[in-house]
Every structure is written in C-alpha cells, then in structure tokens.
Amino acid sequence: MPLSWNDSDAWQLENRSLDGFASPYVGNGALGTRLGIFVLGADPRAPEFHGATGLPQRPDIPPGDPHRSLATFSSFVRDGFQYALPSWNQLDLTLAGVPFHPVRGGHDFRQTLDLRTGEAAFSDDWTYAPNRRARIVIRLLIPRTHPHGSLWELHVAADHDDPIEARFGLRAAHLAGQLPMRYRAAGAGLIVGEGRTARRKRPVAQGLAWQTDGSEVAGQIDKHDAAVHVAGQLRDGGGRLALTVFHALHGGLEDPANAQANVRRTLAELAAAHAADLRERNLALWKPLWAAALRCDDLDPQDARLVLAQQFYLLASLELSEYPFGPLGVSGNNWQGNALWDADRWIGGAVLGLWPEYARRFPAFRAALLPAARRFARSRGYDGAWFPWIHDEEGENTTSEHYLPETHNNLWIAHTAWQLWLETRDEAFLKEQAWPLIRDIAAFYVSRCERDADGTWHQRRVLGPDEAVAEVHHTTCDDNVLVNVGTRWLMRTAIAAAKLLRQSPDPKWRVLAENLVVLPPRADKVIPEHAAYTDQGIKQADTILAFFPLDHDAPPDVVRATLEHYRGKILDYGPLMTSQIEAAILMRLGDRDEGLRRLFARYREYVRGPFLVPFECRNNDTAVMLTGIGGLLQALLCGWHNWRPGGDVRLPRIGDEWGE
C-alpha cells in the first residue's frame, strides 16, 4: 500500500514508556541532537560528554535527570575531531516547587517523532501533587530552512494557581577543556557567546533568543554557562506559561570570520518567522527527500516501517556540504567524527542510489585533501596518495601505528568516486575529482605491491576490514584476498578512466590487474581471508566483500561455502554490517527470500527502543549507526532490487504515487 504524505500516523514513531527507551536523534545535516524522554533535558541513559572518547553508557543516571547535559553535535565545528556543543535544549521545570521528572508524580505522557519533518513532540498530563494536574506540551525542531539554527517550545497549563517556573540556557561547563565558551547578555531576550576550538583556535559563536508570555525573574551568566529563569502567570483559573527558545551556532569550518554576525542573523530570522510558517517551509524541504526515498510496500509492514525510520536517521545527517562525515553523522562524536571507511563504503553507496546529489560530498571531501594524502604517502616512502585510516579535517594523519596497515579505505574512496561517475556520467566530476583520486590511489598501491622472483605480485603487512587480526591476534597479514581483489579492481578502473580521458595509463596497472595474487579456494571451497589464515575468528565481513560490491568472479558453490564459513567465525564484538553483505550476496545468487529474512532478522538484533534506533554492536551503546543503515539500504537496493549504478533498474520511490 502506498505511503501517503498526509497519513500522519504512518509517519510517526511513538513512545509512552520509560522501559526500553533508546534516545532517537533529530537533525538537518549540519546540526543534530539526541532526544531525552521529555525531548528536552537528559536522556535516561545519556552520559556526560567525554570529548573524543565517545559516549559510554551511564546506567547510574536516573531517567530524565535534568542536571545531566544532553550532548548536542555539529558537523562543521571540527578541530581534529567533531565537537559536542554547549547544550541548548535543557529545561528545568517546576510546579509548586515540584520538579518535572519522569519518576515524580503521576504521568500520562506521549512522545512522538514525525519522520516527515524531524519534529519531536512531547505531551503529558502530570499529576504533580494530589488533585493537582498540569498539561505540558514540548516541541523541538531543527529545521532545514536554517541549517545552523533550532528552536523548542514549551506550553504549561495547570489547573490550580500554583507557581510555574522554568530555567533554561546554554550549558558549556562540561566542554570547557575542548570548546570553552564565554556568554553575555546582548539585549532583551538574547544571549550570545564566543569561543575558540582548542587545537586550531577556530572561532565559534552561539546564541539563544527567547519569547515568553511569562515574566523573566532572573538571568545568570557563569564562567561557561548562561541560565535564564522565567515564571508563569495566573490566567484562566490556573497557572500558564508559554515559552519559545531559538538557538543558533556558526563558525568552525563554516564561516569563522563572521560567526557572531551569522548567529545574530539566524536568531533574528527564526524569531521573526511565524512558527506555523517555519514548519511549512521545513516540510517543503523534507518532502522531495522523502519522495526519492526507497518505497518498501513489497516488504512485511513492520520491516517497511523499520526501513522508513532508518532512512530518516540517515537523512537527518545529510546536507550538501563537503565537510567530513563520520559513522554517526552529527548525532555523536565516536571515532572523533572521522570518516574511516564508513562514509565511502557503507553510507556513500546507499546515498548514491537514492539521493545522488548528496553522495557528491564524499568524493569531494577526499579530493580536496589529495595534497595532504600525497604528502603523507611521500613521508612513508610511497608514491601517489595515501589517505590514512584516520585523519582530521585537513588530512593530517591521526592513526596509531597499530592501524596504519589498514589501507583498504583508499580502495573504497576510489570505488565511491567511480560509482558516482557511473551513475551521473558527469564528465566534469570525472576529470576534476574521480580521475585524480583513482590515479593517485592506484599509484600508491603500485608502490606498495612487491614482486617475487617467480613474477607474482603480493601485498604484505596489511590489515583488512577484519581488525581482529590486529586487535585479537596482534599481527598483520599478507595477501588479504579482499585487499588484493580491490587492488586489481582499482587497476582495471584506472585503465578505464584513463581511456575515457585520453590519458596514458601506467603500464604497471595492467601488470597488477593480471598478476597480483588472489588466493584460490581451499579443498573445502572456502576462500581463505589471507595467506596465513587458519580458521581464526573474525571481527566483521572481509573476504565476502570481494563478492559484493567488488563482483569477484567465483563459482556459486565457492561463494556459498565462503559465506557459510565466515558466518560462523564472527566474534561477539563484531558490528552489524557482515549480515548485510551476506544478505545482498544471497539475493544476487537467487536466494531472495532467505537473504531478506536474514537481513531483517539480524538487523533487528541491533535495533533498540520504540524509535527503532540502530546500534553498532549488540554489546555497546554506539547508537544511530549510519554505517549499518547504509549496509541495510545497499542490501535492499543492490540485492533485493538488483540495482547497479548507471544500470537500467528503476528503484521504487516513496513519492512515485503522490501524483506530483
């Protein structure tokens, strides 16, 4: 059944319980935040900010604790890693001196997330004292109309004339070591602040403006925090308070020279816009994105709803910039917000199939850093360009020596660029971005491969996607099959790109395309992961990536035996992407129903809570894992629907039957 744009229930996720809650995420691609039980305030299991070390679970935090900051994020405030921002969506609310809290008093609450627009809402009939009730409504929106702005609204209506007090502001003390901010009052209903990032001293400006029908009681600006205290009024036989708070953030990589002026402009535009008009404009910007999204009415309804929610989380981190894109988008700073291989291999491939204009950001970001990648290759004695496994927003290597042998991310950078060319046939892109990336990465691999006396070529001391080789077995490997298959693919692709552009190919490209060793299947028809592989446990998909997306040619029985073998070797700490690759391969082999069953059965093991939040692993709290979402969508696109970049398969889109 088609998904109607006007069917609100079909687009809404809902929560009415404290049990099993996992923080959903909302954003517009530039600015994002996790949501607590009450939308504002702290998530029941949200931790304090821990800099670049990630967001570990804090089970000791009681549900809805208003004194814990809810970390908010931005993709453009970077200084070697992605920053949490001073919290702008905090609220301390009291009625008759009773704090609004999920475990105090009686509650009948409803929390919703509208996937069409990214607006989160909360309503509650709160019994704060015997025979005393209040209706509380909260709404939060990070609109696409203003990439660096947000707003939230509070409405309280009590049935008695008890005092209502609300405190809000900007809380930055927990960030003082990374992004110290200094705030000041800048007029009636306005606070602005400035700071500089710790490493490169990039200016950052942030501001808060508000409108209320209550009375402002007090304001307080401390060393790193700014707080506002407002009180409600007695009206219509009870206490009433209406409050709208606007937030803006500029600076970092975006426009440091005019950061504060842009904050003031964004706040003024948000405050001048009527809320209903702002929502309508935001809706208009989201609608074409949803029109192009994957339609799943051929799936089980619960599976289709899951895919809808996953597409939302991906879209909420997409924008048209060329900034770095980490595995969690702008919902968190795990892995310091670095791209790793996640952006190119996993996320970029899914985005290309559905929203190709947004997929351009991935190769554009890499192409801009080619000079740094060339310098790094030279510094290590290689030719061409080497993008280290982890590098900052300026291309500077931040990889520990432990992971430097993990070079396969370079293969996926080239692969994403070529796939985008196949899909768009954009000759300017091929000439200006794809070709330089493919050519220089090919040159790097030529200089890394070694020729033996028998004329065969090898890659030694490498680390493939199976990081257990380093993390568990504390070594590297020789002739990793996935890396060598990818290198052969790269050499063939470099030759093809050179031909299109009438360039002279390096003669060694063909030599490696034909002579780089790819290990054959063993007697049990299993292709070994690398030259010294003896059935060790693995962290995640490695060898099977040669079958998809690299289309390594192998007999079906070899493919099936290899899939079966590695499925039984996944270690407990492995992420969710392995089953997605396996499912795509099974579907392409003709086992469509079994591949689909496995895809969703395994994916649901990593999804938590009523808002269907995807996690990296079953045993950690790395949430809103866009890498896994990319793998899920690619399995559906390339496996279930048999789509290929530049092919003739027309994907079913949600907007196909909207008649527009």
User: Domain containing 192 — which CATH number?
Assistant: 2.70.98.40
DSSP 130-197: TTEEEEEEEEEE--TTSTTEEEEEEEEEESS---EEEEEEEE-GGGTTTS-EEEEE-STTEEEEEEE-
pLDDT, mean of residues 555-567: 97
Cα gap 249→204, rounded to integer Å: 7
In a domain, 136, yes or no: yes
Going by C-alpha positions, the residue among 334, 521, 522, 322 that lies closest to residue 429 is 322
Cα gap 521→518, rounded to integer Å: 10
Q: pLDDT at residue 113 above 70?
A: yes
Burial class (CB in 10 A: 0-12, 13-18, 19+), 49: buried
Q: pLDDT at residue 265 above 60?
A: yes
Cα gap 481→565, rounded to integer Å: 15
User: How does residue 57 score in pLDDT terms, banded at 50, 70 and 90?
Assistant: very low
Q: Find out whether 27 and 325 touch, Cβ atoms under 8 Å.
A: no
Q: pLDDT at residue 397 above 70?
A: yes
**pLDDT score at 45:** 37
Burial class (CB in 10 A: 0-12, 13-18, 19+), 8: exposed
User: How does residue 83 score in pLDDT terms, banded at 50, 70 and 90?
Assistant: confident
Going by C-alpha positions, the residue among 214, 269, 223, 218 that lies closest to residue 242 is 214
DSSP symbol at 214: S
pLDDT, mean of residues 148-175: 91
H or E stretch including 565? helix 556-567
User: How does residue 67 score in pLDDT terms, banded at 50, 70 and 90?
Assistant: very low
In a domain, 91, yes or no: yes
Q: Find out whether 614 and 643 touch, Cβ atoms under 8 Å.
A: no
Going by C-alpha positions, the residue among 251, 264, 148 that lies closest to residue 201 is 251
Top pLDDT among 89 and 518 is at: 518
Cα gap 195→206, rounded to integer Å: 9
In a domain, 329, yes or no: no
Q: Find out whether 620 and 611 touch, Cβ atoms under 8 Å.
A: no
Q: pLDDT at residue 400 above 70?
A: yes
Going by C-alpha positions, the residue among 658, 627, 596, 650 that lies closest to residue 302 is 596
Q: pLDDT at residue 238 above 90?
A: no
Cα gap 158→161, rounded to integer Å: 7
Tell me whether strands 215-221 and 225-231 are parallel, antiparallel or unpaired: antiparallel
Q: Find out whether 216 and 198 touch, Cβ atoms under 8 Å.
A: no
In a domain, 125, yes or no: yes
pLDDT, mean of residues 211-237: 83
Peptide bond into 549 cis (omega under 30): yes
DSSP symbol at 55: -
Query: Which residues form the domain of 48?
Result: 8-290
Which tokens in the block code for residue 621?
A: 């709290």
pLDDT, mean of residues 255-273: 92
**pLDDT score at 87:** 86
In a domain, 16, yes or no: yes
Cα gap 640→633, rounded to integer Å: 10
What length is written for the chain? 660
User: How does residue 426 score in pLDDT terms, banded at 50, 70 and 90?
Assistant: very high
In a domain, 106, yes or no: yes
**pLDDT score at 660:** 59
**pLDDT score at 69:** 56
Cα gap 415→402, rounded to integer Å: 25
* Collapsed DSSP state (helix, strand, coil) of residue 466: coil
Q: pLDDT at residue 56 above 50?
A: no
Q: pLDDT at residue 68 above 70?
A: no
pLDDT tens digits, one per residue of 2-47: 899 999 999 999 999 877 778 899 999 999 998 888 888 643 333 3
**pLDDT score at 203:** 93
Average pLDDT, the chain: 91
CA-CA-CA-CA torsion sign (551, 555, 556, 560): negative
**pLDDT score at 236:** 63
Q: Which of 104-118, 228-242, 335-349, 447-461 has the lowest mean pLDDT?
A: 228-242
User: How does residue 411 score in pLDDT terms, banded at 50, 70 and 90?
Assistant: very high
Cα gap 271→529, rounded to integer Å: 58
Q: Find out whether 137 and 97 touch, Cβ atoms under 8 Å.
A: no
Q: Which of 280-284, 328-332, 451-455 has the lowest mean pLDDT?
A: 328-332
Q: How many domains does the chain have?
A: 1
pLDDT, mean of residues 584-595: 98
Going by C-alpha positions, the residue among 87, 5, 82, 110 that lies closest to residue 610 is 110
DSSP symbol at 126: E
* The residue type at 398: T
In a domain, 282, yes or no: yes
User: How does residue 482 score in pLDDT terms, banded at 50, 70 and 90?
Assistant: very high
In a domain, 124, yes or no: yes
Q: pLDDT at residue 269 above 80?
A: yes
Q: What is the distance, to the nearest Å, from the Cα of residue 166 to the centroid of all Cα atoms in its chain? A: 33
**pLDDT score at 583:** 98
Top pLDDT among 24 and 103 is at: 24
**pLDDT score at 55:** 33
pLDDT, mean of residues 136-143: 96
